[in-house]
């Protein structure tokens, strides 16, 4: 790791740094993780940082919180190139690449208004992740583009 990279990921004491988010997607990453200013998490977001790999990238740092594997999985839907750094006492103790999950539950809203998962009944949305999008497991509706627009807002 270069000094520059080390500097960027080691500024928080304990928490998670999500690096290599495609430029402009940081706020969608926060939305998909259900993180906002009201949750009390200390956040810092860097947007459109020059990146060799991505052209421009975003970086999100969440103080005092380590992402769960389930949270890392859903990240892959909108940030497939992201890397996750778990920081403790200013040191990166774990580094993960995101992996696409087979199924995401309760994260996205089905665009089909007749779908059982969009009714008032307590049915959590459930989408199978495919190579080119996600498919509702109740009504087979496929979402290919603009996944962040379908993120469930609590
Ligand atoms: Zn559906």
Identify the CA nearest to 125 among candidates 99, 149, 150, 144: 150
pLDDT of residue 101: 83
pLDDT of residue 140: 97
Q: Tally the domains of the chain.
A: 2
Binned at pLDDT 50, 70 and 90, residue 23 comes out as very high
Residue 4 located in a structural domain: no
How many angstroms separate the alpha carbon of residue 119 from the centre of ligand 1?
A: 10
Residue 53 has pLDDT above 50, yes or no: yes
How many angstroms separate the alpha carbon of residue 115 from the centre of ligand 1?
A: 4
User: Are residue 75 and residue 144 in the same domain, yes or no?
Assistant: no
pLDDT of residue 60: 94
Residue 2 located in a structural domain: no
Least confident of 35-49, 90-104, 106-120, 127-141: 35-49
pTM equals 0.72
Average pLDDT over residues 56-64: 93
How many angstroms separate the alpha carbon of residue 33 from the centre of ligand 1?
A: 21
Q: Which domain holds residue 146?
A: 103-150
User: Tokens representing 68?
Assistant: 């769960």
């Amino acid at each position: 790791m270069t000094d520059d990279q080390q500097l960027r990921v080691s500024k928080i004491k304990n928490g998670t740094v999500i690096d290599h988010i495609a430029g402009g997607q940081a706020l969608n990453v926060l939305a998909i993780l259900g993180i906002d200013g009201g949750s009390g998490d200390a956040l810092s977001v860097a947007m459109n940082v020059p990146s060799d790999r991505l052209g421009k990238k975003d970086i999100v740092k969440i103080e005092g919180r380590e992402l769960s594997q389930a949270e890392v999985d859903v990240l892959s839907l909108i940030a497939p190139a992201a890397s996750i750094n778990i920081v403790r006492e200013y040191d990166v103790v774990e580094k993960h690449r995101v992996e696409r999950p087979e199924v995401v539950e309760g994260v996205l809203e089905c665009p089909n208004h007749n779908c059982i998962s969009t009714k008032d009944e307590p049915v959590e949305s459930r989408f199978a992740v495919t190579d080119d999008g996600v498919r509702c497991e109740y009504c087979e509706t496929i979402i290919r583009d603009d996944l962040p627009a379908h993120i469930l807002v609590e």
